[in-house]
Amino acid sequence: MIILKKLTSELIICNVYKEIASDMNKKTNIQVSPVVKAISPSGTIEVKDKVRALSEKGINVISFATGEPDFDTPKNIKEAAYRAIDEGFTKYPPVSGIKELKNAISNKYKIDNLVLFKEDEIIVSNGAKQVLYELLLSTCSFHDKVMIPTPCWVSYPEQVKMVGASPLYAKTNEKDNFSLKFKDIQDSYNKDVKIILLNNPNNPSGSVYDKEELKKIGYFALENNILLVIDEIYEKLVYEDNFCSLVSLDDEFKNICFTVNGFSKTYAMTGWRIGYGIGPKRIIKSMNKLQGHISSGVNSIAQKAAVEALMGPQDFVAVMKNEYMKRRDYMVEKLNSIRNINCKIPMGSFYVFPNISGLYGGKYNDEVLFNEADVVNYLLEEAHVAAVPGSVFHYNDHIRLTYAISFGEIKEGLNRIEDAIKKLCFK
């Protein structure tokens, strides 16, 4: 009887709570966070969604929009992951990364860049995006400014906004092949700038920054107590010249430089979601604290695979780079042969960034092309070819096309673009 009364009492209380909750839901207008309202959706993902929608209708779309290697992850890297599973390496790893991987990263920078980093100056995260976000969250305050040369990768300004800071753009010159000059920084700088965020080689333009210009920027940062953040995710995809990491140019730069890198582009490991950051240990310590609450450690199996990527044979990287170079040369020559398109030759990454402003004013079926978004939509609808408008990279009058797709798709896609442009009427 006592038990029955207790159950009845609990049921009554439960029903009362349900009524209160229901009443609160009717009265409460739950709003989306102002932070989310302030940021823009990813422009590259929006293009992917359009491609997916057309593909689901049975339309064959050739997509130049995705920044993902079309190569498979090398066999030795996959085998390292299999071994990790077989050996039971499946428990929680340390938040900032396993010691073996940190040592491999340190060794890579010692050999490639002649700079020595200690274990407490390295953090491993779930892709380079997470590294960058945790870095900004660790170093920026409200109303700080982060200077970003343009064109820039779509997530840079949005992540800056997400931490309450503001992006400040420094536009590079197409005549300089979009390569950043110290003057570009000087012309845009103000005293509120706390960070200068560089991407070398650059996405979307493929530009590679000049060593002497980087030095000037480094000394400017030292003089003005600015943190230099350098995203070097495409460092192994530099074609004509040897890559130069800014942190290697002067021992003093190590105190004001933070390098972002990862495995996605160099080793075709996009889905493994593993990146890393290297910088002053006070910043790494703060990021480690954040990561402990955000995601904890990175997938243990992916970390073992990443060790093999760095320490194992590097032949794959050279093979992939040579193939990209052939595709790049073909694309640039073909694009420059198409009416009203001008394309600079990229020195790194796997993108071309042609100027398509010559297509403005072109008319087809009573529709006129006024900007790069119109051009992208026209190519998608008429040629069934997907590209990304330059506006999402904060650089108008251009589109981004990747050559990380097969040679066959590149040839077919560019032929479709040429045919579509021939249909345009100009006064």
Cβ burial, residue 427 (10 Å; 0-12/13-18/19+)? exposed
**CB-based contact 273:302 (threshold 8 Å):** yes
Band (pLDDT 50/70/90 cuts) for residue 388 is very high
**Is residue 24 over pLDDT 90?**
no
| CA–CA distance, 390 with 65 (Å, rounded to integer) | 12
pLDDT, residue 5, reads: 43
**Is residue 2 over pLDDT 60?**
no
pLDDT one-digit tens code per residue, 41-81 = 777 777 778 878 877 888 899 999 988 999 999 999 999 99
Band (pLDDT 50/70/90 cuts) for residue 25 is low
Q: What is the mean pLDDT of residues 10-29?
A: 53
pLDDT, residue 3, reads: 42
pLDDT, residue 27, reads: 55
| CA–CA distance, 377 with 382 (Å, rounded to integer) | 8
**Is residue 268 over pLDDT 80?**
yes
Q: What is the mean pLDDT of residues 148-160?
A: 97
| CA–CA distance, 396 with 387 (Å, rounded to integer) | 14
Q: 294: helix, coil or strand?
A: helix
**Is residue 7 over pLDDT 60?**
no
Residue type at 182 in one-letter notation: F
| CA–CA distance, 196 with 181 (Å, rounded to integer) | 13
**Is residue 169 over pLDDT 50?**
yes
CA distances from 55 to 50, 217, 422 (A): 9, 45, 25
pLDDT one-digit tens code per residue, 328-383 = 999 999 999 999 999 999 999 999 999 999 999 999 988 999 999 999 999 999 99
pLDDT, residue 6, reads: 43
- CA-nearest of 258, 228, 220 to 149 is 228
Q: Average pLDDT of the chain? A: 92
- CA-nearest of 275, 272, 233, 321 to 77 is 272
User: The tokens of 276 are what?
Assistant: 């890393």
User: The tokens of 82 are what?
Assistant: 């299999």
**CB-based contact 101:262 (threshold 8 Å):** no
User: The tokens of 251 are what?
Assistant: 């021992």
Domains of the chain: 43-71+316-422 (3.90.1150.10), 75-313 (3.40.640.10)
Q: Comparing 24 with 113, which gets the higher pLDDT?
A: 113
Q: What is the mean pLDDT of residues 30-38?
A: 81
pLDDT one-digit tens code per residue, 208-248 = 999 999 999 999 999 999 999 999 999 999 998 889 999 99
CA distances from 282 to 30, 193, 255, 352 (A): 38, 20, 10, 38
Band (pLDDT 50/70/90 cuts) for residue 19 is low
Q: What is the pTM of this model?
A: 0.89
pLDDT, residue 4, reads: 39
pLDDT one-digit tens code per residue, 92-134 = 999 999 999 999 999 999 999 899 999 999 999 999 999 999 9
Q: Comparing 274 with 29, which gets the higher pLDDT?
A: 274
Neighbours of 252 (CB within 10 A): 12
- CA-nearest of 365, 371, 370 to 420 is 365
**Is residue 38 over pLDDT 90?**
no
**Is residue 10 over pLDDT 80?**
no
pLDDT, residue 183, reads: 95
| CA–CA distance, 55 with 68 (Å, rounded to integer) | 19
pLDDT, residue 26, reads: 54
pLDDT, residue 8, reads: 46
What angle, 0 to 180 degrees and rounded to 10, lies between the N-to-C axes of helices 75-86 and 300-311? 140
